[in-house]
């Protein structure tokens, strides 16, 4: 039955694609209604296939196709679906703080190995610093090679406003990492502050006598299990949230923006692709991490991050997937949330690329020495990204102000920021998933047997339960 449906789907998709191409190149004139009908017939077949297969990855992929078609054929409806994306993001955000708290505290207090926490801390920071520095340098290289900002004429009218940027010293960034009120930190979604609180709480709990802490640790461990089940239930809504996010993007910006990308957008995508091939792939080979199996495991969280442009939306699923991949929970729960503050590879690469773009657009001559000093500045300031609303934009404006450059090119970047955010957020999530596996290998705790079987393990059927 599945094979017959697959053959019918392939036939419908081929006919719809062929008709669209022939009409686009004016080889055969086909009415718009017929083209729309053919495309929706192919999509209907894909939806039936997703229902029969009952697989989250397949459903997310197909929902992205459906969302694109809705945004293209019915832009007003597509734009109006933003509330579904918002519902998905809000539900995910309810999970993050209790999940981080429960997994971190259980990992630290449950094993009572405080030396391992210290080791993971310095190993993670060294790894993050090395990888993000490479990201900055690759962004710099591609900006000078492609020159996306060269020859831009300043627009007479820019109907947008930039946020006010308060000067942030390195002391401010460090201070911001520590919570003054844990409830306030949870409310504002301050991931790093929740991590700091959870680590200190876990260490404190590990220091009290075993008799007193055992019941408390067992309770927190139960909370972690509940939050993972909660995440599985929320993920049933993921295809709808992801499809709505794509429909909103296409409905708002049009399908042309997905085909005819500006040079800046192409430069960013090429730079990120080069970064993945030149940095991530060698790291995986060196750490003996099977590339294909790793990609299969992270596909779901990365596709969620791509569609929603939110790293937070992918965090619970990414943690679950990496644990399934063979990384111990105490390492996943420590490294990944920390990486969300210190290891945002895609955002860091974008910052160096965008700063040079502004220099090129405004005709500011930046020597190699100035560009390297800019890299050093971004290497420090980008570490505070997680604690700042509209983070990359604010950090970018701060870097521009530091070199005395005009701000108007940033307004141009804001026009395609959503599409750039898709790529850099996906890279952020990929980098943090990889970081957990690398640190686990460094600690000698990566479960190779579990890792090699990870793509064969059937996920629990929450619907049936």
> Would residue 72 count as lying in a domain?
no
pLDDT digits (tens, 9 = 90+) for 178-195: 888 888 888 877 777 887
Q: Look at residue 394 in the predicted model and tell me its pLDDT.
A: 63
Residue 323 lies in a domain: yes
For residue 441, pLDDT over 90 is answered with yes
270, 423 contact by CB (below 8 A)? no
Distance, C-alpha 448 to centroid of its chain = 26
Q: How far apart, in whole angstroms, are the C-alpha atoms of residue 393 and residue 366? A: 21
Taking 50 as the threshold, does the pLDDT of residue 278 lie above it?
yes
Q: What percent of the chain has pLDDT over 90?
A: 20
- In a domain? residue 209: yes
* Domain CATH number, residue 445: 1.10.3860.10
The reply to whether 377 falls in a domain is yes
User: Does the model's pTM come out above 0.85?
Assistant: no
Instruction: Show the domain range for 196.
Output: 92-227+261-456
Determine the pLDDT at residue 203.
85
Q: Encode pLDDT of 351-395 as tens digits.
A: 899 889 888 888 888 888 888 887 777 776 666 454 444 567 667
Give the residue carrying structure tokens 């609303």. Answer: 389
In a domain, 433, yes or no: yes
Going by the DSSP 8-state scheme, the letter that residue 454 receives in this structure is G
Torsion over CA: 343, 344, 345, 351 (sign): negative
Residue 175 lies in a domain: yes
Q: Give the count of domains, the chain.
A: 1
Q: CA 317, CA 405: separation in Å to the nearest integer?
A: 41
Residue 16 lies in a domain: no
Region at 75 (left for phi over 0; alpha for psi -120 to 50; beta for the rest): alpha
Q: Is residue 181 part of a domain?
A: yes
Q: Quote the CA–CA distance of 97 and 75 in Å, as a whole number.
A: 35
Rounded CA gap, 238 and 259, in Å? 26
């Amino acid at each position: 039955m599945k094979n017959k449906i697959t053959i019918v789907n392939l036939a419908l998709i081929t006919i719809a694609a062929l008709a669209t191409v022939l009409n686009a190149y004016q080889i055969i004139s086909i009415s718009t209604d017929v083209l729309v009908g053919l495309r929706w017939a192919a999509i209907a077949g894909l939806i039936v296939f997703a229902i029969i297969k009952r697989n989250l990855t397949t459903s997310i992929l197909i929902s992205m196709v459906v969302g694109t078609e809705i945004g293209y054929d019915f832009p007003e409806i597509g734009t109006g679906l933003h509330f579904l994306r918002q519902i998905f993001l809000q539900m995910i955000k309810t999970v993050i703080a209790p999940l981080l708290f429960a997994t971190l505290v259980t990992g630290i207090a449950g094993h009572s190995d405080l030396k391992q926490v210290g080791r993971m801390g310095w190993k993670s920071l060294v790894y993050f610093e090395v990888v993000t520095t490479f990201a900055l340098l690759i962004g710099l290289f591609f900006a000078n090679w492609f020159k996306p900002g060269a020859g831009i004429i300043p627009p007479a009218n820019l109907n947008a406003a930039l946020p006010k940027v308060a000067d942030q010293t390195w002391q401010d960034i460090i201070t911001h990492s520590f919570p003054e009120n844990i409830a306030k930190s949870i409310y504002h979604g301050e991931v790093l502050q929740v991590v700091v609180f959870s680590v200190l709480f876990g260490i404190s709990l590990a220091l009290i006598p075993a008799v007193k802490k055992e019941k408390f640790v067992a309770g927190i461990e139960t909370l972690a299990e509940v939050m993972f089940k909660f995440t599985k239930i929320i993920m049933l809504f993921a295809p709808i949230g992801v499809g709505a996010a794509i429909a909103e993007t296409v409905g708002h910006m049009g399908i042309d923006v997905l085909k005819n990308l500006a040079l800046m957008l192409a430069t960013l995508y090429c730079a990120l692709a080069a970064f993945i091939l030149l940095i991530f792939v060698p790291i995986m080979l060196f750490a003996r991490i099977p590339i294909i199996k790793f990609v299969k495991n992270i596909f779901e969280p990365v596709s969620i991050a791509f569609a929603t442009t939110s790293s937070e939306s992918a965090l619970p699923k990414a943690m679950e997937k990496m644990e399934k991949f063979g990384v111990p929970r105490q390492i996943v729960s420590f490294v990944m949330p920390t990486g969300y503050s210190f290891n945002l590879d895609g955002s860091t690469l974008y910052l160096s690329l965008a700063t040079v773009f502004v220099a090129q657009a405004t005709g500011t001559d930046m020597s190699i020495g100035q560009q390297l000093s800019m890299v050093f500045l971004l290497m420090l300031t980008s570490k505070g990204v997680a604690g700042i609303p509209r983070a990359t934009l604010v950090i970018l404006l701060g870097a521009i102000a530091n070199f005395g450059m005009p701000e108007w090119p940033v307004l141009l970047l804001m026009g395609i920021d959503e599409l750039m955010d898709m790529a850099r957020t996906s890279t952020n999530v990929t980098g943090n998933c990889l970081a957990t596996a690398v640190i686990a290998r460094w600690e000698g705790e990566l479960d190779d047997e579990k890792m090699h079987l990870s793509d064969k393990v059937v996920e629990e059927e929450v619907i049936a339960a």
